[in-house]
């Protein structure tokens, strides 16, 4: 099922992605994999010492999930740009769901472009990431 | 009050090699199950030179070169008072395992909000591969709580 420009309408939702609950093992793996070794993601005491209620998930882990909602939908090479605002923190135990909605279709320099609003939200429906992406489609 | 002379400052170029094992660990950490991100044969079948770096991996390239913290240290800011406010990527070409990526970070904007209670630092970093092809631009907004 290839996604095509003509098959997409403004207002369409792309398939949502719900990730398994974020756990301490995932945060440890992501610390190593991402190169972000900030102890606020790993060490409860360090997080509390920094004024946080406890360990928080890496914002870039949630943004990686948001990237997956795009790459599960279209090949990665279609993505022209991808951005987000980190609107709220995610914590261990949170279940993050990523969603995308088509906000515009436009042609520029011979490319057929789709603009999307993409968001990540937790199990309470609070938006943790609010972002945009543009993909070029055949 | 911040020192406005930091606006426009460019940092020394950095170079990071993209390693296959690192990309596999990254895929595992984010729960990525598409085999193109972990199995080189699947990546090649999809038209990549080797394992592709996922969309947010360019930030890890900058992080490996400690770029986000470099600016804070340079400006004398306590990193525990800073948060990642926004992140943007613009893509020009694939980044794959084996690539040697060179980047250079520049401070493009600094401003205050809420009467100086919050300081916003915006940096841009262009990543270029071993063939001098631009592959990705990063734009990072760091928010610092003053006091």
- Give pLDDT, residue B147: 61
Nearest to A29 among B25, B89, B90 (CB): B25
Q: Which residues between 32 and 91 in chain B have a beta carbon less than 8 angstroms from any beta carbon of chain A?
A: 32, 34, 46, 52, 54-56, 59-60, 63-64, 79-80, 83-91
Give the full edge-to-edge strand order of the sheet including B82-91: A13-18, A97-108, A111-121, A127-136, A79-86, B82-91, B134-145, B118-128, B100-113, B14-17
Strand partners, A81: A134, B90
Of residues A9 and A50, more confidence is placed in A9
C-alpha span between A134 and B33 (Å, rounded): 23
Predicted confidence at residue A28, as pLDDT, reads: 98
Mutate to test the interface with B, among A81, A115, A132 (most CBs of B within 10 A): A81
**pLDDT for residue B63:** 95
Could you read off the pLDDT tens digit of each residue along chain B, which spans 147 residues?
688 899 999 999 999 999 999 999 999 999 999 999 999 999 999 999 999 999 999 999 999 999 988 999 999 998 778 889 999 999 999 999 999 999 999 999 999 999 989 999 999 999 999 999 999 999 999 999 886
The answer to whether the beta carbons of residues B21 and B6 sit under 8 Å apart is no
- d(C-alpha B53, C-alpha B68), whole Å: 20
Q: How far apart are the first and last CA of chain B?
A: 12
The whole-model pTM stands at 0.96
> How far apart, in whole angstroms, are the C-alpha atoms of residue A84 and residue A128?
10
How many whole angstroms separate alpha carbon A26 and alpha carbon A47? 17
């Amino acid at each position: 099922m290839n996604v095509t420009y003509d098959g997409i309408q403004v207002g369409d939702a792309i398939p949502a992605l719900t990730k398994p609950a974020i756990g301490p093992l995932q945060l440890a793996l992501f610390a190593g994999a991402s190169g972000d070794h900030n102890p606020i993601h790993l060490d409860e005491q360090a997080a509390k010492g920094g004024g946080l209620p406890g360990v928080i998930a890496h914002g870039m882990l949630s943004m990686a999930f948001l990237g997956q909602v795009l790459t599960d939908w279209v090949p990665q090479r279609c993505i022209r740009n991808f951005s987000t605002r980190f609107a709220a923190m995610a914590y261990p135990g949170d279940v993050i769901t990523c969603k995308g909605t088509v906000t515009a279709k436009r042609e520029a320099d011979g490319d057929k472009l789709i603009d999307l609003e993409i968001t990540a939200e937790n199990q309470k429906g609070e938006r943790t990431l609010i972002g945009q992406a543009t993909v070029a489609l055949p | 009050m911040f020192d406005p002379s930091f606006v426009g400052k460019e940092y020394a170029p950095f170079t990071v090699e993209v390693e296959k094992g690192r990309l596999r660990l990254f895929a595992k950490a984010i729960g990525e199950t598409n085999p193109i991100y972990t199995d080189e044969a699947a990546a090649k079948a999809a038209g990549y030179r080797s394992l592709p770096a996922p969309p947010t991996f360019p930030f890890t390239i900058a992080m490996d070169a400690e770029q986000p913290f470099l600016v804070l240290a340079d400006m004398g800011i306590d990193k525990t008072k800073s948060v990642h406010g926004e992140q943007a990527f613009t893509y020009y070409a694939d980044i794959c395992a084996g690539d040697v990526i060179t980047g250079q970070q520049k401070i493009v904007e600094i401003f205050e909000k809420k009467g100086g209670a919050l300081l916003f630092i915006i940096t841009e970093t262009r990543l270029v591969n071993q063939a001098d092809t631009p592959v990705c631009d990063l734009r990072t907004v760091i928010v610092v709580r003053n006091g």
